Structure 1
């Protein structure tokens, strides 16, 4: 009888603790005893976010893989520091498409309750990808800044070796900063303050530091591009207005180039602001106050904009470049030629086995990489 009473009391205690955990919003909003506090999306919101991730994730991965393969297959592009920075950007965005999509859907859609170390490892991968992406954007902006402000000494200041060292330093710092929570800089009070209400186990001081670093890098990017545009316009003014004939044509070409440059830089800054400022704003607010469930849901949607930014980056920094587009066309044509050659070789083997004579496909044999490269150059000049 006494054992039965003790069991009933224990069951009552467990039930009371579960109810108090589920109703924490009615007692103290700063308290959180389980990961359920972070899984706030409704069924409709889960479907919407999963649609965004399933659409943007594979597109981002394939686009950046194509950029990386194009630069890796071209000796001319690999020698230039600008394309090394674009390669770093494409690599970071490729990581973002994998890490963010998997970890985000695993947590919010599948409600996977990982332990602290596993969750912080996944979060570190996402943080590494986005930090590397913004850092590569900063290197690209500084490269363009040096190209126009130090045009005469650009090749001496920014050599290929220095570009590689800058990329290596960027990724070393990025990896260390991203996995600091896994190394020990985490909240010591389970899921209560000073834990973030946006990310489980993450200390708010670490979140404030990372957010501040991202804001500094974005500020430098936003300052660099207007300075580049201002220097270009000033250079145009110092050269003097067009006078006659060929000078008039050159002046009109420079004016069109300046307009295109202004449109490109304006588009870059607009997309950066739209994709990153909402997320960073929520993080700054989370450092000071405790966010509500509605604000957590808004942050979940805003965080998908970072993935959209990684999806758009290849279009802004890579595919708008005529030289890289030409190399990409050459790579695609070379792949087609290799495929036709393989099919023709297989067909030739079948014909030889049936007739006992060797045959050769002249159309395929004439499609060598040099001819394809020359045709791609002509297409590049016509774009």
Structure 2
């Protein structure tokens, strides 16, 4: 994901927008922005690219299971699981994008492929973050309007929310492909080539807006959870124990969700605003790699910890083992 072309002229300046190899870009004499582009086989494979590819592989495998289970399980059609399915789909695409970026980077040398790849990754990660916000909004309304939550209107509202989420994500992903890139103006490049500084600033600002909205919503959710736990504890006359346990569990879950999201994306979002293309590309890699871990952790937090999805996985595994056992137990006379 670093610069793809070799600087044949040793006197060329790295600040002139020319591409450097990975080894040159990481040396003290040569700095450069990370590039979603291509590289020749003449150079050793960048270990950061390998880690990003491995991260993408794990992300794709984890989320593919979630998408398949939700798609093939008729009972998982509630608004909550529709949103979880959207999140898993976005993360699945992001994982596939990281894998494809690695393949294209070391196989095909094309600016068009570079633009398509970065646009695909921008759209996928934007959809992932936006789906997290949609899940937060859904959780808030499920508590705030508990009596009317399971209605036809809620599902329609969720579908509209997802249409907006994916529409905006697709638009942001298309911007580099449609011309908002720095291929013709190297001086406007950001730490992630071929994105311009203004484009990356827009993406980082959008992240901070979403993060602040999630903080506000989870603060309100926390207040509602504490209030509900207090009311239930009073009815059961176990205020000292049940209220403390329920409140602690709810707050802990919210802290894990927000802590994971913030720890994953905040370093990269901040660096997108303060970083310059002349900085060593290792800084970009070091902040981007943890951001991809959020898509790796999302299915664990939102899907695999869910009892209904666990039950679906268990039934799927039992069905596979029973089918294999029945197949192996057949005798020639039964065929």
- Interval of TM-score (by shorter of Structure 1 and Structure 2): 0.7 to 0.9
Residue number in structure 2 paired with 1:7: none
Note the alpha carbon deviations across 1:126-178, whole angstroms, 9 max, x for none: 11111111011011000001011111222348532332232233212211211
Of Structure 1 and Structure 2, the greater helix share is in 1
The answer to whether residue 196 in structure 2 is matched with residue 209 in structure 1 is no
**For 2:102 and 2:271, how far apart are their aligned partners in 1?**
17
Change (3 A) 1:342 1:99: same
Note the alpha carbon deviations across 1:174-213, whole angstroms, 9 max, x for none: 112111111112236442x2222x2223222222112211
Instruction: Map residues 1-383 of structure 1 onto 2, 5 A cutoff.
Output: 18-21=9-12, 24=13, 29=15, 31-34=16-19, 36=21, 40-41=25-26, 46-47=46-47, 49-50=48-49, 52-78=51-77, 80-104=78-102, 106-107=104-105, 110=106, 114-156=109-151, 158-187=153-182, 189-191=184-186, 193-196=187-190, 198-239=191-232, 241=234, 247-248=236-237, 252-253=241-242, 255-286=244-275, 289-293=276-280, 296-344=281-329, 347-348=330-331, 351-352=332-333, 358=334
Change (3 A) 1:187 1:50: closer
1:265 Cα shift?
A: 1.0
Note the alpha carbon deviations across 1:27-68, whole angstroms, 9 max, x for none: xx4x32235489735799933x35533543332222211211
Residue number in structure 1 paired with 2:30: none
Secondary structure in 2 aligned to 1:19? coil
Show structure 2 runs of 5+ residues with no match: 1-6, 28-42
Check conservation: 1:93, 1:129, Cα contact below 8 A.
Answer: yes
1:70 Cα shift?
A: 1.8
Change (3 A) 1:212 1:256: same
Secondary structure in 1 aligned to 2:170? helix
Check conservation: 1:189, 1:195, Cα contact below 8 A.
Answer: no
Check conservation: 1:190, 1:201, Cα contact below 8 A.
Answer: no
Check conservation: 2:84, 2:302, Cα contact below 8 A.
Answer: yes
Q: Report how many residues are paired.
A: 314
Change (3 A) 1:66 1:229: same
Secondary structure in 1 aligned to 2:234? coil
Change (3 A) 1:55 1:189: closer
Q: Which has the larger radius of gyration?
A: 1
Check conservation: 1:88, 1:136, Cα contact below 8 A.
Answer: yes
**TM-score normalised by length of structure 1:** 0.73
Change (3 A) 1:151 1:95: same
Note the alpha carbon deviations across 1:262-290, whole angstroms, 9 max, x for none: 1111011111111101111111114xx55
**For 2:272 and 2:136, how far apart are their aligned partners in 1?**
25
Change (3 A) 1:55 1:204: closer
**For 1:73 and 1:278, how far apart are their aligned partners in 2?**
37
Show structure 1 runs of 5+ residues with no match: 1-15, 353-357, 360-383
**TM-score normalised by length of structure 2:** 0.83
Note the alpha carbon deviations across 1:199-239, whole angstroms, 9 max, x for none: 22322222211221122112212222122011111233345
Change (3 A) 1:185 1:17: same
1:256 Cα shift?
A: 2.7
The two structures, once aligned, show a CA RMSD in angstroms of 2.9
1:113 Cα shift?
A: 7.2
**Which deviates the most, 312-321 or 251-260?**
251-260
